[in-house]
């Protein structure tokens, strides 16, 4: 315990220091040095994270019976609002944050290594590493947050580092636009998050997770002891509203419909950043948030949980459909990410609490873990491909399997994993989600089942288009070649993780349910083959269709598209959601609100002030006319004055 | 302590730049020293409201004293002022014409500001308020740019209009707070005690209902409260850089500070009764300023409207009348002071190079002057409330505090206030995206140079202060909170 | 010699106001000057009449009138020199054209 | 009929003439004519003084006023070109103002006079007809006793001197400026 407590601060301090050092002095360093420095330091951080996580899980120190205990490694008062409400910066260790530590440190370390190759020779290399360090700091801070406000703090920091990374190529209009969009959309969601926090914390008089999620007898203590249980607003229980608002915050970061629009555009950033932030870590923050507050959701706001599952289901199918029609490989992956995160949300939405009931919860976290690995892998592989062909478009690719062998193999592994083919990791996590959905809500299950097939289809469409399908029309500018080792190493490493976790699960070596569950108590589950088999079937069917259409260069895809021209076009244009947003922001907010307000200010308010000054001015102008300088006028006034006085004194 | 500050001010008058910066630095040291001393003394002496008090009669007939003293709030404000003043001095190094006169008036302005913050006597306070106001006219009118005469006139007249209200308010307070058979006083503490005594004895306090709005509006004009804010965009746009900094950074805080120290402290009952009117007004200015900023094209206008929004939040928080929100308000004052000073400093530097403030004519400056632009981004982030920078601390404290009110009316306005953080993000990012990022718009801009040393000193100094507050807000918050308590306890839900 | 004193007063009043009218209504400076003379004379009449009817043994009003006449002469001399001066500068002697004293 | 003595008739004639010429002075469009009418007015006033048996005053009036001042004015008029007529552009408004002042003023004064009657026993004609001898005037002007006016006399003479110097100064200075 003491040992971990003494180590824990370094998890946050080191990346922050790196950020400051690289940010302030990066300019003076040689790029290579800064890259190496960043990577090495983050390597140390990863080791600490691993150490903490492994120690936590396997030393047995932190278990009472089968239940993992929540441990606060350190907690430091940061800002005191009033008697009860204190924002602290601390380090909360429980299975949830331990798992996240592993995910983040792994992916982040891989991205650090990968970027050394990918970003080689780019201007602003040091800046990239600085922001990467900032992001790692923020993300780690987020997952180890001891209170909801600390989470919010790092939540914002994550958002801003995402902004900075997307706008890394700041001289490109599209990048700047995408960055702005990402930031504003998430910020919009964060506002709801903040309001949710305010409501929740006002009534429970605490920000701390350990108090907020403390459960006795199937109720959350903090809430039972407050007015929240009985309060309603507009007919809705206030607690539900609060939790829904908090979920909206998560939805913004996790790109749930309809707040998903920023994620595809965020692909304007450098690919390693996309891999880290927009695929593996930051976007699952929403899932993490819901998971973190899961006890409140499940006990006090079950309806919200239901809504979450519906939104998740809709988003997953929605994004999957769009993914089928995209031609930019990073965008396909982006929509796939949206869809997969929605999967996790669904899993949380259908989950119950405790033991097997909490299967969805476990599955969600498990899927988060596996997805982070293989999606980061996919992105990095995509990065390697882009690095090789200098384009994001599918049309500029094809037949790359010989030219990029390592990328090809690792990409295939990841595709199989995401398509849910055993024994890769994705199969198991996805399977559990389907099981959990099946037991709770058949409709959601049906949707998810379909999405599983769809996922297999679009992933293999991507795979075939890149690695098979024949050479691109224009040919390659110069022969694509395999990326250097520092780029392929992360690919191989992540592929290995994907395979090994899958296999070890298959052979029962590591059971995820032992590590993480809704009440942190381990339980046993078995693979439900009655659901697993059809889901494999769906995956296989998806793959087969993709094979049929895209293995060779034929007219089949075009033909297929011609059958569903309209829907295809809709999906290709992402169902015009972007356009709707654009309309709302441009035409309604800017033109209907901002412009009139500015006009009102300049003309009415300021006009009123100017009118006042005009009136004053005019009056004094008129008054000064009396002082005309004409002697005769003065004389007249004088005489009349005298006469008046006389008349007055006469009392006539 | 006061005397030291004045000595420095006095000695600097005939000298220029170097001496100015040395003086400014000395001022900063003095303030820091004062802060440390204050914190130490506070440890020992936890009872008295104000520390370092001094008093000297200067107009016997009305019992007007020159009495000064500081509590946590004024210390924070003094610290803010000295930081802004010294950075302002550095920023003004580029000044070419009439340097001596410029600094003279600049000093006059700062004397007014310091005096205001440390005064404990209504009349002295008002005196310093005016002392701070008048130099603005000259500074803008002589060293400004654009329609400077108009702006200077507008600014001065509107603020003077405000102080007319204020004067009525002050005399109203003075005459009505005279205890029966006793002598009238201008001393704030004594007045507060008298008013409380009056209330306790069941005396007539209906006069508060007349003079509270007058005083509040009087200071509200300076605090850029809707609809009395229109001097701010024009004034800021025309003022020279350092004056904008000092004005938006410190002078506008006089408004909030005055509302707090005079209007609310001396007339707590009326404040509670009539708060709703001003909550509506300030709520409007929060959102309204932010929306207006979204479509402006002049950098300084954007920032001025942003100030309207932020200062609106200050007053809004004050009106929430509990300790947390009020602490937030003071934090917001400090934070906004620093960050808006940074903004104006940077805008001035950019303007000095590009000779335009129209955002449509700029673009891609990040490539040309990276240091300035990074500073600008940081200022922007502070403004939109990024954690780790001061804006966040302040805003969150305000929102948490404001949320203590459970009724529908307050809740609505709190949520309205929260929405401003999104709009803030919109306009900040709009500017950042437009002028700093993207391709270079104007070929002539490519040859421009980055910051020179004194500009760096100014910008980094402010950033350091912003970050320091953002990273470790607790000491400041506690220090302010100590001062707030005395006032907050007058209100029903104060503590 | 039994003219009522009121007749004199009425006479001087009327003359006075004729002068006032001239002063206000006339345009050029010389006319104004002449109106002033009328006014002075009206006053003189009053002095003289009052002196005659009230204190015939004394000479107060009489002497006063003498002074007035003397001063009127001086005043006229100065006024005319000013008028000529104005004329040299403005090329006219309209009272309206010498309004530099305004505001 | 008692009032219709010769002196009364002369008074009324004089009064009528004074008023008539006064009116003509201020209304005549030709300025030279105004001056002439002014001269007549002053002349008649001198007549009035004579009637009151103030011969010396009448003489002064004639010599200084009618003889000096009016001549001065006439010279000034002649010196200044284009003063033949006194055409007024916006005469209406000013004329109305003047008339207003004059009429209201006259009525006011008249009412004052009517309200406060003067000297009910004014017809001690013997006293009134007594003429003033020059010696007395001289004594009064140069004496230093009560009701004697040496000091004002000296002041007036200094004033006159000052005026003469002043008018010369004004006239010459402007010449230099002009050239």
Question: What's the pLDDT tens digit per position in B194-209?
Answer: 888 887 887 777 788 8
Query: Per residue in D67-98, pLDDT tens?
Result: 888 888 888 888 876 655 555 555 677 788 88
pLDDT on residue A332: 84
Q: Which residue has the tokens 């191989």?
A: A492
- According to the 3-state scheme, what is the secondary structure of A55-90? HHHHCCCCEECCEECCEEEEEEEEEECCCCCEEEEE
Phi, psi (deg, nearest 5) at residue A351: -80, 155
Q: What mean pLDDT is reported for chain B?
A: 79
Of A114-128, A338-352, B310-324, the range with the lowest mean pLDDT is: A114-128
Instruction: State mean pLDDT over B1-21.
Output: 49
Residues D150 and D93 in one domain: no
Judging contacts by C-beta atoms under 8 Å, the chain A residues touching residue B439 are 171-173
Distance of CA D148 to the CA centre of its chain: 24
Q: What is the dihedral of CA B274, B278, B283, B284, to 10 degrees?
A: 130
Closest CA to A577 of A263, A110, A165: A263
For residue B61, the 8-state DSSP code is G
H-run or E-run covering A232: strand A232-233
Residues D140 and D125 in one domain: no
Nearest by CB to C81, which of D11, D19, D167?
Answer: D167
pLDDT on residue A242: 85
Query: Per residue in D145-175, pLDDT tens?
Result: 877 888 888 888 888 888 888 888 877 755 4
pLDDT on residue B16: 56
Residue C32 to chain A, least CA–CA distance (Å): 9
Gap between the Cα atoms of B177 and B187, Å rounded: 11
Gap between the Cα atoms of B351 and B341, Å rounded: 15
Structure tokens, C46: 């009053």
A652 in reach of chain D (CB within 8 A): yes
Q: Give chains near D: 3+ CB pairs under 8 A.
A: A, C
Gap between the Cα atoms of A417 and B264, Å rounded: 65
Gap between the Cα atoms of A154 and A139, Å rounded: 7
Res. A474 pLDDT band, cuts 50 70 90 = low
Q: What is the domain count for chain D?
A: 2
Gap between the Cα atoms of B410 and B407, Å rounded: 6
Judging contacts by C-beta atoms under 8 Å, the chain D residues touching residue C20 are 98, 101-102, 105
Does the pLDDT value for residue B147 go beyond 50? Answer: yes
CB D26 within 8 A of CB C26: yes
Of A117-121, A170-174, A512-516, the range with the lowest mean pLDDT is: A512-516
More reliable by pLDDT, A547 or B336: B336
How crowded is residue A481: how many other Cβ atoms within 10 Å of its Cβ? 10
Gap between the Cα atoms of B342 and A423, Å rounded: 57
What angle, 0 to 180 degrees and rounded to 10, lies between the N-to-C axes of helices B408-431 and A173-204? 160
Structure tokens, B486: 């005395």
H-run or E-run covering B40: helix B17-44
A582 in reach of chain B (CB within 8 A): no
User: CB–CB of A82 and B433 under 8 A?
Assistant: no
Res. D179 pLDDT band, cuts 50 70 90 = very low
User: CB–CB of D52 and C56 under 8 A?
Assistant: no
Res. A476 pLDDT band, cuts 50 70 90 = low
More reliable by pLDDT, A506 or D136: D136
pLDDT on residue B44: 66
User: CB–CB of C3 and D152 under 8 A?
Assistant: no
Query: What is the number of alpha carbons within 13 Å of residue A279 lying toward its C-beta?
Result: 33
Query: Per residue in C38-48, pLDDT tens?
Result: 999 999 988 88
Structure tokens, A591: 């033109």
For residue A482, the 8-state DSSP code is P
Give percent of chain B above pLDDT 90.
Answer: 0
Nearest by CB to A643, which of D94, D97, D104?
Answer: D104
Closest chain A residue by Cα to residue C32: A632
Res. B95 pLDDT band, cuts 50 70 90 = low
Does the pLDDT value for residue B14 go beyond 60? Answer: no
CATH number of C5-93: 1.10.287.3510
| CA distances from residue A633 to A640, D27, D39, D87 in whole angstroms, order as listed | 10, 18, 26, 18
Of A463-472, A522-531, B368-377, the range with the lowest mean pLDDT is: A522-531
pLDDT on residue D105: 86
Residue positions counted in chain D = 179
Residues D23 and D100 in one domain: yes
For residue B181, the 8-state DSSP code is T
Domain ranges of chain C: 5-93
| CA distances from residue B35 to B1, B150, B379 in whole angstroms, order as listed | 11, 40, 25
The runs of H, that is alpha helices, within chain D are 6-27, 31-51, 55-60, 70-79, 91-115, 125-128, 134-142, 150-178
Domain ranges of chain A: 2-572, 578-650
User: CB–CB of C32 and A632 under 8 A?
Assistant: yes
Residue C94 to chain A, least CA–CA distance (Å): 10
Res. B46 pLDDT band, cuts 50 70 90 = low
A428, with CB counted inside 10 A (0-12, 13-18, 19+), is buried
Q: For residue A453, what are the contacts with CB-CB under 8 A and spacing of at least 6?
A: A538, A539, A541, A542
pLDDT on residue D129: 62
Judging contacts by C-beta atoms under 8 Å, the chain B residues touching residue A194 are 399, 418, 421
A647 in reach of chain C (CB within 8 A): no
Cis preceding linkage at B297, omega within 30:
no
User: CB–CB of A643 and D97 under 8 A?
Assistant: no
CB B256 within 8 A of CB B319: no
pLDDT on residue C2: 66
A647 in reach of chain D (CB within 8 A): yes
CB A42 within 8 A of CB A133: yes
Residues D115 and D153 in one domain: no
SS3 (DSSP) at A237: strand
Touch of C by B (3+ CB pairs closer than 8 Å): no
The separation between the first and the last C-alpha atoms of chain B, rounded to the nearest angstrom, is: 31
Backbone dihedral region for residue A350 (phi beyond 0: left; psi -120 to 50: alpha; all else: beta): alpha
User: CB–CB of C93 and D102 under 8 A?
Assistant: no
Does the pLDDT value for residue A372 go beyond 50? Answer: yes
More reliable by pLDDT, A326 or B22: A326
Query: Per residue in C6-59, pLDDT tens?
Result: 788 888 889 999 998 888 888 788 888 888 989 999 999 888 888 888 777 778
Judging contacts by C-beta atoms under 8 Å, the chain D residues touching residue A638 are none
H-run or E-run covering C70: helix C60-90
Query: Per residue in B221-247, pLDDT tens?
Result: 888 887 788 888 888 888 888 888 888
Phi, psi (deg, nearest 5) at residue A208: -75, 140
| CA distances from residue B486 to A80, B74, B351, B483 in whole angstroms, order as listed | 18, 13, 44, 6
The separation between the first and the last C-alpha atoms of chain C, rounded to the nearest angstrom, is: 54
Query: Per residue in B243-264, pLDDT tens?
Result: 888 888 888 888 888 888 888 8
Gap between the Cα atoms of C46 and C10, Å rounded: 10
Structure tokens, B246: 């000092």
Instruction: State mean pLDDT over B383-400.
Output: 84
Query: Per residue in A563-596, pLDDT tens?
Result: 777 777 777 777 777 777 777 777 777 777 777 7
Q: Which residue has the tokens 């340097």?
A: B99
Q: Give chains near A: 3+ CB pairs under 8 A.
A: B, C, D
Closest chain C residue by Cα to residue D89: C27
User: CB–CB of C85 and D83 under 8 A?
Assistant: no
Residue D98 to chain C, least CA–CA distance (Å): 4
Does the pLDDT value for residue A390 go beyond 70? Answer: yes
D104 in reach of chain A (CB within 8 A): yes
Phi, psi (deg, nearest 5) at residue A60: 80, -10
Q: For residue A561, what are the contacts with CB-CB under 8 A and spacing of at least 6?
A: A568
Q: What mean pLDDT is reported for chain A?
A: 80
Closest chain A residue by Cα to residue D97: A636
CB B38 within 8 A of CB B92: no
Gap between the Cα atoms of A342 and A348, Å rounded: 10
Query: Per residue in A485-515, pLDDT tens?
Result: 777 888 888 888 888 887 777 666 566 767 7
User: CB–CB of A639 and D105 under 8 A?
Assistant: yes
Residue C3 to chain A, least CA–CA distance (Å): 27
pTM for this prediction: 0.80
Gap between the Cα atoms of B395 and B313, Å rounded: 8
CB A257 within 8 A of CB A233: no
pLDDT on residue B6: 47
pLDDT on residue D120: 55
How crowded is residue A521: how many other Cβ atoms within 10 Å of its Cβ? 18
Q: Which residue has the tokens 């595709």?
A: A415
Res. B2 pLDDT band, cuts 50 70 90 = very low
Gap between the Cα atoms of B280 and A197, Å rounded: 24
Instruction: State mean pLDDT over D16-20.
Output: 90
Domain ranges of chain B: 2-488
User: CB–CB of B227 and A187 under 8 A?
Assistant: no
Gap between the Cα atoms of D40 and D13, Å rounded: 13
Gap between the Cα atoms of D98 and D92, Å rounded: 10
Judging contacts by C-beta atoms under 8 Å, the chain B residues touching residue A163 are 429
> Structural domain of residue D54, as residue ranges?
6-132
Distance of CA A438 to the CA centre of its chain: 27
Q: For residue A348, what are the contacts with CB-CB under 8 A and spacing of at least 6?
A: A287, A290, A291, A294, A297, A305, A308, A309, A312, A360, A361, A364
User: CB–CB of C80 and D118 under 8 A?
Assistant: no
Does the pLDDT value for residue D176 go beyond 60? Answer: no
pLDDT on residue B7: 45
Angle ∠(A238,A241,A244) on CA atoms, nearest 5? 150
Closest chain A residue by Cα to residue B440: A171
Does the pLDDT value for residue B452 go beyond 60? Answer: yes
pLDDT on residue B48: 65
Query: Per residue in A11-28, pLDDT tens?
Result: 788 888 888 888 777 777
Gap between the Cα atoms of A513 and A81, Å rounded: 39
């Amino acid at each position: 315990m003491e040992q971990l407590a003494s180590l824990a601060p370094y998890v946050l301090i080191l990346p922050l220091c790196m950020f400051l050092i690289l940010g302030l002095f990066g300019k003076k360093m040689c790029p290579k040095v800064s890259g190496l420095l960043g990577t090495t330091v983050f390597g140390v951080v990863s080791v600490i994270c691993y150490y903490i996580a492994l120690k936590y899980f396997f030393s047995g120190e932190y278990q009472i019976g089968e239940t993992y205990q929540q441990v606060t490694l350190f907690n430091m008062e940061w800002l005191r609002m009033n008697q009860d409400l204190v924002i602290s910066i601390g380090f909360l260790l429980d299975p949830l944050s331990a798992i996240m530590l592993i995910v983040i440190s792994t992916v982040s370390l891989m991205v650090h290594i990968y970027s050394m190759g990918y970003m080689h020779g780019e201007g602003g290399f040091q800046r990239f590493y600085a922001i990467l360090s900032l992001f790692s700091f923020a993300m780690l801070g987020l997952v180890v947050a001891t209170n909801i406000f600390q989470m919010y703090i790092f939540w914002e920091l994550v958002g801003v580092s995402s902004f900075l990374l997307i706008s890394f190529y700041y001289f490109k209009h599209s990048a700047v636009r995408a960055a702005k969009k990402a930031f504003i959309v998430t910020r919009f969601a964060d506002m709801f998050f903040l309001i949710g926090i305010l409501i929740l914390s006002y009534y429970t008089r605490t920000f701390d997770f350990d108090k907020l999620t403390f459960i006795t007898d199937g109720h959350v203590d903090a809430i039972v002891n407050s007015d929240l249980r009985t309060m309603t607003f507009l007919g809705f229980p206030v607690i539900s509203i609060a939790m829904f608002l908090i979920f909206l915050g998560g939805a913004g970061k996790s790109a749930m419909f309809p707040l998903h629009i920023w994620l595809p555009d965020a692909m304007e950033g450098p690919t390693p950043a996309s891999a880290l932030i927009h695929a593996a870590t930051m976007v699952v923050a929403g899932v993490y948030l819901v998971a973190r507050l899961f006890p409140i959701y499940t006990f006090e706001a079950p309806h919200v949980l239901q809504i979450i599952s519906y939104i998740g289901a809709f988003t997953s199918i929605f994004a999957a459909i769009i993914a089928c029609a995209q031609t930019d490989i990073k965008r396909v992956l982006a929509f796939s990410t949206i869809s997969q995160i929605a999967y996790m949300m669904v899993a949380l939405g259908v989950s119950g609490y405790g033991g097997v009931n909490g299967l969805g919860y476990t599955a969600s976290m498990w899927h988060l873990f596996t997805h982070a690995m293989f999606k980061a892998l996919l992105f990095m592989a995509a990065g390697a491909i882009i690095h090789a062909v200098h384009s994001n478009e599918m049309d500029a690719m094809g037949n790359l399997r010989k030219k990029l062998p390592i990328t090809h193999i690792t990409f295939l592994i990841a595709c199989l994993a995401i398509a849910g083919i055993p024994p890769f990791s994705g199969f198991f996590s996805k399977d559990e989600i389907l099981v959990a959905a099946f037991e709770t809500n058949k409709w959601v299950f049906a949707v998810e089942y379909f999405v599983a097939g769809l996922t297999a289809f679009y992933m293999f469409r991507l795979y075939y288009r890149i690695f098979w399908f024949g050479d691109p029309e224009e040919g390659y500018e110069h022969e694509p070649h395999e990326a250097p080792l520092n780029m392929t190493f992360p690919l191989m490493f992540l592929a290995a993780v994907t395979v090994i976790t899958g296999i070890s699960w298959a052979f029962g070596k590591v059971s995820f349910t032992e590590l993480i569950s809704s009440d942190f108590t381990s339980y046993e589950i078995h693979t439900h083959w009655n659901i697993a088999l059809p889901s494999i079937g769906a995956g296989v069917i998806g793959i087969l269709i993709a094979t049929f259409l895209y293995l060779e260069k034929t007219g089949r895809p075009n033909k297929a598209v011609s059958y569903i021209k309209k829907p295809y076009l809709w999906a290709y244009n992402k169902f015009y959601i972007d356009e709707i947003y654009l309309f709302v922001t441009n035409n309604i907010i800017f033109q209907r609100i901002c412009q009139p307000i500015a006009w009102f200010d300049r003309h009415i308010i300021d006009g009123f002030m100017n009118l006042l000054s005009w009136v004053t001015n005019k009056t004094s102008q008129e008054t000064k006319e009396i002082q005309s300088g004409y002697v005769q006028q003065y004389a007249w006034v004088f005489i009349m004055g005298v006469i008046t006085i006389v008349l007055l004194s006469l009392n006539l | 302590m006061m005397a030291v500050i004045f000595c420095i001010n006095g000695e600097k008058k005939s000298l220029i730049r170097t001496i100015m910066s040395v003086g400014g630095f000395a001022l900063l040291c003095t303030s820091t020293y004062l802060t440390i001393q204050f914190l130490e003394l506070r440890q020992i002496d936890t009872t008295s409201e104000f520390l370092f008090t001094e008093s000297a009669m200067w107009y016997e007939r009305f019992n007007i004293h020159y009495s000064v003293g500081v509590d946590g709030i004024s210390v924070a404000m003094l610290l803010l002022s000295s930081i802004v003043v010294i950075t302002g001095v550095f920023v003004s190094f580029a000044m070419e014409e009439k340097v001596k006169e410029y600094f003279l008036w600049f000093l006059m302005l700062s004397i007014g500001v310091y005096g205001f913050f440390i005064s404990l006597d209504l009349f002295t306070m008002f005196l310093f308020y005016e002392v701070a106001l008048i130099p603005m006219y000259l500074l803008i009118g002589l060293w400004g740019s654009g329609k400077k005469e108009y702006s200077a006139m507008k600014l001065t007249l509107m603020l003077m209009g405000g102080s007319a209200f204020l004067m009525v308010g002050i005399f109203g307070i003075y005459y009505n707070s005279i205890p029966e058979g006793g002598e009238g006083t201008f001393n704030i503490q004594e007045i507060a005690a008298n008013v409380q005594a009056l209330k306790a004895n069941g005396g007539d306090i209906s006069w508060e209902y007349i003079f509270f709005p007058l005083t509040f509006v009087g200071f509200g004009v300076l605090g850029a409260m809707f609809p009395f804010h229109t001097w701010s965009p024009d004034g800021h746009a025309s003022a020279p850089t350092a004056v904008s900094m000092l004005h938006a950074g410190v002078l506008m805080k006089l408004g909030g500070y005055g509302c707090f120290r005079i209007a609310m402290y001396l007339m707590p009952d009326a404040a509670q009764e009539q708060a709703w009117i001003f909550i509506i007004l300030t709520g409007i200015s929060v959102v309204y300023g932010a929306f207006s900023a979204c479509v402006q094209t002049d950098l300084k206008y954007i920032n001025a409207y942003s100030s309207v929004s932020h200062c609106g939040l200050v007053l809004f928080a004050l009106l929430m009348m509990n300790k947390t929100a009020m602490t937030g308000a003071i934090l917001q004052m400090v934070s906004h002071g620093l960050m808006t000073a940074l903004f104006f400093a940077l805008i001035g530097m950019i303007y000095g190079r590009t000779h335009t403030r129209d955002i449509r004519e700029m673009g891609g400056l990040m490539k040309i002057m990276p240091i300035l632009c990074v500073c600008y981004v940081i200022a922007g982030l502070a403004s939109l409330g990024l954690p780790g920078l001061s804006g966040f601390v302040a805003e969150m404290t305000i929102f948490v505090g404001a949320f203590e009110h459970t009724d529908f009316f307050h809740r609505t306005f709190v949520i309205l206030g929260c929405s401003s953080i999104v709009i803030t993000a919109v306009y900040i990012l709009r500017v950042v995206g437009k002028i700093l990022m993207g391709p270079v718009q104007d070929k002539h801009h490519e040859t421009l140079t980055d910051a020179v040393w004194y500009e760096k000193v100014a910008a980094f100094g402010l950033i350091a202060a912003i970050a320091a507050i953002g990273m470790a807000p607790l000491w400041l918050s506690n220090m302010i909170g100590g001062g707030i308590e005395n006032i907050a306890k007058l209100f029903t839900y104060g503590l | 010699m039994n003219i009522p004193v009121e007749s004199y007063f009425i006479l001087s009043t009327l003359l006075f106001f004729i002068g006032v009218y001239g002063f206000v209504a006339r345009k050029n400076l010389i006319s104004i000057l002449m109106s002033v003379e009328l006014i002075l004379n009206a006053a003189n009449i009053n002095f003289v009449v009052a002196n005659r009817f009230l204190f015939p043994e004394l000479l107060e009003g009489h002497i006063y009138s003498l002074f007035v006449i003397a001063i009127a002469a001086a005043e006229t001399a100065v006024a005319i020199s000013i008028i000529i001066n104005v004329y040299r500068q403005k090329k006219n002697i309209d009272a309206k054209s010498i309004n530099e004293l305004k505001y | 009929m008692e009032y219709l003595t010769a002196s009364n008739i002369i008074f009324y004639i004089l009064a009528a003439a004074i008023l008539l010429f006064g009116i003509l002075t201020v209304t005549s469009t030709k300025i030279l004519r105004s001056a002439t009418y002014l001269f007549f007015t002053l002349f008649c006033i001198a007549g009035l003084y004579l009637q009151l048996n103030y011969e010396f005053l009448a003489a002064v009036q004639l010599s200084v006023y009618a003889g000096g001042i009016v001549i001065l004015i006439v010279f000034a008029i002649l010196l200044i070109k284009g003063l033949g007529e006194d055409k007024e552009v916006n005469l209406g408004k000013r004329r109305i103002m003047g008339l207003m002042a004059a009429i209201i003023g006259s009525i006011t004064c008249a009412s004052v006079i009517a309200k406060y009657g003067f000297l009910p026993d004014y017809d001690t004609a013997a006293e009134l007809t007594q003429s003033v001898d020059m010696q007395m005037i001289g004594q009064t002007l140069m004496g230093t006793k009560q009701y004697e006016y040496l000091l004002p006399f000296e002041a007036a003479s200094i004033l006159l001197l000052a005026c003469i110097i002043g008018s010369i100064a004004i006239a010459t200075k402007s010449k230099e400026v002009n050239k």
